Amino acid sequence: MSSAERGVDAARTVLAIDTATDSVVTGVVELTGETIGSVRVLAERVVTDHRRHAELLTTLIAECLGESGISRDALSAVVVGCGPGPFTGLRVGMATGAAFADALGIPAHGVCSLDALALETTPPAGRPDVLVVTDARRREVYWALYRDGARVRGPEVSAPATVAEELAPVFSTGEVGAVSGSASHLELVGWTETTPQVTVPSARGLVAAAASAIEAGVVPEPLVPLYLRRPDAVEQKARKLGAAR
């Protein structure tokens, strides 16, 4: 049943969570359709502190629920940014989102965090491409390229010089019209034309990325993190075995 058939009174309320970057992002939104214009933010919190993701997240969720006036039982779904992102921070948001959804008996939709950034980025007419770049640490970046709102490349993790080389053709033709993500890392891949429109995933962008699935009543697959590489933490036994080999 479409949103028009359900009517405005059947708007869904959705909890959004993302810990794929150094910022903890959460919010409660109202969803009435399948486009980003159908997403209305009721409350949102963004706190940048990569060392306190686990400590901050549940408190910020409680603040958003209180400010929005939405009880947990009134939530229709949870949307979780699945990265790409660092192992430790990313799993905090995913575990919390999955736990909320399981406890409430509602679906948890996983989305690519870079998609959420792209959906909040508007390129000028005639320059349809959007580039999203975030910090992957280890002197690397996470990145993805979008055209007319659809992801056409990525997400990938690469050295900035590699990304700069691969994107040189689209930079030279002017096809990339807007960017989002980390300003310093966008510069490292060769982009200096404009500043990023959005720096971290927003509650609005996250829910918009899952809007069509939520509206269609799709039963989501289990949340799968987009690490794109092995975690930094390695069990001591595995380290010893690797060294012996």
Q: What stretch(es) of the chain map to CATH 3.30.420.200?
A: 122-188
8 Å CB contact between 118 and 167: no
Beta bridge partners of 13: 30
Please, what sign has the CA dihedral across residues 62, 63, 67, 68? negative
Q: What stretch(es) of the chain map to CATH 3.30.420.40?
A: 3-114+201-216
For 126, the 3-state DSSP assignment is coil
Cα separation, 28 vs 184, whole angstroms:
30
Identify residue 231 by its one-letter amino acid code: P
Predicted TM-score (pTM) of the model is: 0.89
CATH number of this structure's domain 3-114+201-216:
3.30.420.40
Beta bridge partners of 31: 12, 39
Question: Going residue by residue through the chain (245 aa), what tens digit of pLDDT does each one get?
Answer: 433 344 434 689 999 999 999 999 999 999 999 999 999 999 999 999 878 888 999 999 999 999 999 999 999 999 999 999 988 889 999 999 999 999 999 999 999 999 999 999 999 999 999 999 999 999 999 999 999 989 999 999 999 999 999 999 999 999 999 999 999 999 999 999 999 999 999 999 999 999 999 999 999 999 999 999 765 544 544 444 444 44
Domain 122-188 has CATH 3.30.420.200: yes
Condensed to tens digits (0 to 9), the pLDDT of residues 182-226 reads 999 999 999 999 999 999 999 999 999 999 999 999 999 999 999
